[in-house]
Amino acid sequence: MNLPVFLAKRIYNGPALSRQVSRPAVIISMIGIVIGLAVMIIAVSVITGFKNEIKDKVTGFAAHLQVTDVNAVMGNETAPVVYNDTLKALLAKSQQVTHVQRYSQKAGMMKTADSFQGVMVKGLGPDYQTDFLRQHIIQGELIQFCDTASSNTVLISKVLADKLQLKVGDKVDTYFFDESIRARKLLVAAIYETHFSAYDGTYVFTDLYMVNRLNHWDDDEASGVEMTINDYAKLETVTYEVGSLLNDYTDRNGTAYCALNVEQQNPAVFSWLEVLDVNIWVILVLMIGIAGFTMIAGLLIIIIERTQMIGVLKSLGANNTTIRHLFLWLSVFLIGRGMLWGNIVGLTFYFVQRYTGLLTLDPATYYMDKVPVSLSIPVWLLLNIGTLLISVLMLVGPSYIVARIHPANSMRYE
């Protein structure tokens, strides 16, 4: 063990830090570290959890990537996509695509004796991944979606159920408008709730077969194809890859296709989520600044109080670098203690909120009913390592004050 580390440990473990002046300074410095790291852990976990929750809900409704008719990207009523073996083979060339599923949709209106509501009816087939819908069902049971027959059942949101005063087992008249008005009496099989008003207030789900019949489409046609990919970080790359595969492809109807990812379809939502990244960096800078400056104040007080010790060490042959390293190592020990308590506070909040949902939110404003948290081990490690490194680097400059202390004057210092 070298001399600076040895002396720093002796001071850290000894009575020197219990002196009348240095003890309050050390306590305040460590409190700054505790608050700074705890707030960073809490802020990062909450903002990351919020972003992941919103992203999961948007992709739950629309998957990661969609292939649709190029001329009807902005419309609700799309020309059909022919999902045949040729298109399947093209999409299979992308190694990142893990699942492909069809969907068809049709705008309509649900009407009861007292109210009516415009809806987008989305037809799903047996190939559709229903984990997201199943997770958010609050009443009833998820129907078995079919592409060969219609069950005349529907899955609606709690928002629509409340507006139309419907419950599981009720039948609701649904009207569709083309050249003529067509009506279907649909049975409410289940009610879901995601708290995401942009979708909850609009989408209802039923069989692919019924929507295709309403659109006058063949069995192998659909409004589009949704795809799930392996790595969300490669979303833009996969979108370009799939789009390139479809560039020269047209189906039997002469329809050209395009690929759009979920971020391109919902630019406002994802632009809003990007703003949250700025909030994270602002919080990190402020908290590290608070922690660093409180440690600077504490270190200066300790150096001034240990002036006599510095003079003795210099008279015994210690150079300025050795003494500076001594106080930097002492700061590392103090920062480490503060970080320990900061982790205890921050991680306690994280686990309590994750497993109990103690803090709640207004779903109408925040699209969820409780504060979401998400924290990965790599991010947690980066927060700790970054806090330690930046705090120590901020102390390098103030540590040069030991060079101004001369042995002859310091030994008479009281």
Helix H segments across 63-120? 85-91
Q: Give CA 2 to chain center in angstroms.
A: 45
pLDDT higher than 80, residue 177: yes
The per-residue pLDDT for 64 is 93
Give the DSSP letter of residue 231. -
Q: What is the enclosing helix (H) or strand (E) of 140? A: strand 137-140
Q: What is the pLDDT of residues 46-88, one digit of tens each?
A: 999 999 999 999 999 989 999 988 776 655 456 788 988 888 8
DSSP letter for each residue of 177-228: ESSSEEEEEEEEEEEE--S-HHHHTTEEEEEHHHHHHHHT--TTEESEEEEE
For residues 259-279, give the mean pLDDT.
88
Q: What is the pLDDT of residues 125-160, one digit of tens each?
A: 999 999 999 999 999 999 889 888 888 999 999 999
pLDDT higher than 70, residue 407: no
* Residue corresponding to tokens 């990142």: 96
For residues 12-32, give the mean pLDDT.
70
CB 386 within 8 A of CB 318: no
Counting residues of the chain whose pLDDT is more than 70, the rounded percentage is 93
The per-residue pLDDT for 169 is 92
CB 46 within 8 A of CB 354: no
pLDDT band at 318 (very low <50, low <70, confident <90, very high): confident
pLDDT higher than 80, residue 194: yes
**Which range among 34-38, 87-91, 315-319, 372-376 shows the weakest confidence by mean pLDDT?**
315-319
The per-residue pLDDT for 18 is 54
Report the distance separating Cα 323 and Cα 320, nearest Å.
Answer: 5
The per-residue pLDDT for 410 is 56
Give the DSSP letter of residue 368. S
